[in-house]
Homo-oligomer: A and B are copies of this chain.
Amino acid sequence: MKHFTFFVVAVAAIACLAAFIVPLPGHADRATATYLTEIPQGYRGWKWISSAHEAGNLNSLGAVLANDIAFKALQEGKYPFPDGAVIAALHYKHVRSDENNKVFGQAQSFVPGPPTNVQFMVKDSTKYAATGGWGFGHFQNGKPADALFMKPCFPCHQKAGGTDLVFTHYAP
Q: Is the interface of A mostly helix, strand, loop or mixed?
A: mixed
A13 to chain B, nearest CB (A): 7
Which one of B14, B44, B45, B47 lies within 8 Å of A104 (CB-CB)?
Answer: B14
Which one of B90, B104, B111 lies within 8 Å of A53 (CB-CB)?
Answer: B111
Which one of B44, B103, B112 lies within 8 Å of A17 (CB-CB)?
Answer: B103
Task: Answer whether residue A142 sits at the interface, using C-beta atoms and an 8 A cutoff.
Answer: yes
Query: Are B94's CB and A53's CB within 8 A?
Result: yes
Q: How large is the interface on A (under 10, 10 to 19, 20 to 34, 35 or more residues)?
A: 35 or more
The residue in chain B whose Cβ has the minimal distance to the Cβ of A88 is B48
What residues make up the interface of A, taking CB atoms closer than 8 Å to B? 1-2, 4, 13-14, 17, 39, 44-48, 50-58, 61-63, 65, 71, 90, 92, 94, 99-100, 102-104, 106-112, 114-115, 117-118, 139-142, 156, 159-162, 167-169, 171-172
